[in-house]
Amino acid sequence: MAIRLEDKQQIVSEVNQAANSALSAVLADYRGVAVGDLTALRKVARENNVYLRVVRNTLLKRAVADTEFECIQEALVGPTILAFSQGDPGAAARVLKDFAKANDKFEIKALSFGGKLLDAGQIDVLATLPTHDQALSILMSVMLAPVTKLARTLNEVPAKVTRGVAAVRDQKQEAA
């Protein structure tokens, strides 16, 4: 089925806008995956703020030209489903990695982060990046640790005095 020029331009523009606001990209081969499974994948992607789209490779090459994801052009071979992480860098990698575990025919081809093309074997690196909330909680725990240790140390001084006085009291009671 032929796509009109206006529709092609709209697709390229839409994917380009998504690429300009994305933090990372993941490419996968979806051959052999049932339509119902892809629909479920799209639902999970929407819930995780991941832009998911099946795009012709020629249109995708035009869309990512002059963006941070221009490096994915060499991985555009065969049917490709594209996922851009919009909210946190690891979202698309986590969604597609989980989907690939459940579907043997779904194969991750490549990923891009920070303007670099990574092979599919490095998806764990991107998928294990903490979310924004997780990163904030890690930062807060690191910032809170010295304060907590100081409070415990300062609290230990009166506790030692109290234990010392109690020990003297116990000795005097035994002597009496």
* Domain 5-129 CATH class label: alpha beta
Q: How far apart are CA 27 and CA 52, in angstroms?
A: 10
Lowest average pLDDT, out of 56-60, 122-126, 149-153, goes to 122-126
* 10 Cβ contact list (under 8 Å, min separation 6): none
- On average, the pLDDT of the chain sits at 84
Q: Which amino acid appears at position 69 of this protein?
A: F
- Would the pTM of this model clear 0.75, i.e. be above it? no
Residue 1's pLDDT band (cuts 50, 70, 90) = low
pLDDT at 43: 93
- Give the closest residue to 99 by CA, choosing from 133, 62, 52: 52
User: Tokens 């415990």 label which residue?
Assistant: 152
Q: Where are the domains of the chain?
A: 5-129, 131-176
76: DSSP letter: -
Q: 21 is written with which tokens?
A: 């606001």
